[in-house]
Amino acid sequence: MYQAAETRYQGMSYAKCGKSGLKLPAASFGLWHNFGSNAAYDRMKELVFTAFDLGITHFDLANNYGPVPGSAEENFGRILKNEMAAYRDEMIISTKAGYDMWDGPYGTGGSRKYLTASLDQSLKRMGLDYVDIFYHHCMDPETPLEESMGALASIVKSGKALYAGISNYDGETMEKAADLLESYHCPFIINQNRYSIFDRSIEENGLKAAAKQREKGIIAYSPLAQGMLTDRYLNGIPDDSRIRTDGRFLKESALTDERIHQIRALKELASQRGQTLSQMALNWVLKDKEVTSVLVGASRPSQLMENVGAVSRTPFSEEELEQIDKISLKKFN
C-alpha cells in the first residue's frame, strides 16, 4: 500500500482559485496522455505517486481521455481504490464532458442529458461519489447556454460535484456563463484553456481579461506547447515521441526551421535564468495572478520532478519578458 511522503507539502505553492476558498497547487497533473488502455499500470502508479509526493494534489481528467475513451478514468480509479483511498480528502479530482464520448446524438455537446449521464459514468469508472470540479469541456453552439449552465448548477446541487468549471470558452461566452451560474447560485470558479508562450489565444479572445475582471481562476493546459517548449525536438524527432506515436495533437509540420530557431533562443534565455526551457515556459504561464495553476503531463517521473522546479514563480524582469515576446514572435530568415 502506498505511503505518501511526509514532506509532500513543503516544496509546492498553492493559490486560491479566483475568489473562491479552494486552493490549487501551482502545478497540477493532467491525465490527458499516458493513462489509457495501452499504458502500463505500474508506470501509471509511479507517475501518480510521484506527483502526490511532490505536492501535486490536483488530478485532472475527462470522460474521453484514453485511448480508449474512459480508460484514463478507469485506471485512475483503480489506483485510487487500491493504493490511495486514504488520501481522497487531500486530493482535488476533476473531470469534464463536452466532446464526443459515445455514439448517437446524446453522447456529445452540452445538453443536460449528456452532461448528467456522462458525469454518472465518470463517477462509476473512478469509483467516486463526487468530483471536486466538473467542467463543460467546450462551447456548444447547438445547445442554449442556459441549458448547459443549468445542468452544471443541477449537478453541483446534487452533490456529484463541488464546483463548476468551463473549458475552451472565449471571454465573451465565459462572461455570459458566469452571469447564468451566478443567478443559479452555482460556485463557478475556474476556466481551463490552452496557454503557452507559443499560444496566447486566451489573451486574444478576451478570456484572460474576463477571468481577472470576474475573479475566476485559470488553469492552463499545454503550457509546454505539446513538448515544443522543451529540449525534446532540438536534435530531431525521437521515435518514441508523441509526433511519431500519436500525431493528432502535434504534427511534424509544426516543427519548422523558424520554430526550432525560436526554441533554441528561448532555451538560451532560460539557461541565463538558471532554468531549463520547460521550467521557464511553465514559470512564464504562472507569471500573472490570473493563472492559478498549470497542467503538466508526464511519461516519466523525472519529467514531473523537473517541472515542479518551475513552481517558485521566479519573477521575470521587464527585459526578460520583452526578450521572450521578441523571440516567440520573431520571424527568422
Instruction: Give, as one character, the DSSP assignment of residue 84.
Output: I
pTM for this prediction? 0.94
Find the mean pLDDT for residues 124-148: 98
Give me the pLDDT at residue 212, please.
97
d(CA 192, CA 283): 17
Instruction: Give, as one character, the DSSP assignment of residue 107.
Output: S
Which residues are bridge partners to 220 per DSSP?
193, 294
Residue 147 in domain: yes
Per-residue pLDDT tens over the stretch 235-265: 766 655 556 455 556 666 677 889 989 999 9
Residue 179 in domain: yes
Residue 120 in domain: yes
Q: What is the mean pLDDT of the chain?
A: 93
Residue 47 in domain: yes
Find the mean pLDDT for residues 9-21: 96
Instruction: Please check the confidence at residue 125 and state whether its pLDDT lies above 50.
Output: yes
Coil vs helix vs strand at 14: strand
Residue 185 in domain: yes
What's the one-letter identity of residue 63? Answer: N
209-213, 228-232, 307-311 — most confident range: 209-213
Residue 243 in domain: no
Per-residue pLDDT tens over the stretch 71-80: 999 999 999 9
Residue 277 in domain: no
Domain range for 308 is 14-228+284-315
Confidence of residue 333 (pLDDT cuts 50, 70, 90): very low
Find the mean pLDDT for residues 139-160: 98
CATH number at residue 55: 3.20.20.100
Q: Which residue has the higher pLDDT, 314 or 254?
A: 314
Coil vs helix vs strand at 74: helix
Give me the pLDDT at residue 332, please.
43
Give me the pLDDT at residue 307, please.
87
Give me the pLDDT at residue 249, please.
60
Residue 2 in domain: no
Q: Give the β-pairing of 23-25 and 14-16.
A: antiparallel
Give me the pLDDT at residue 1, please.
86
Find the mean pLDDT for residues 38-63: 98
Coil vs helix vs strand at 38: coil
Number of structural domains the chain divides into = 1
Instruction: Please check the confidence at residue 223 and state whether its pLDDT lies above 90.
Output: yes
Per-residue pLDDT tens over the stretch 54-106: 999 999 999 999 999 999 999 999 999 999 999 999 999 999 999 999 999 99
d(CA 34, CA 241): 12
Instruction: Please check the confidence at residue 20 and state whether its pLDDT lies above 80.
Output: yes
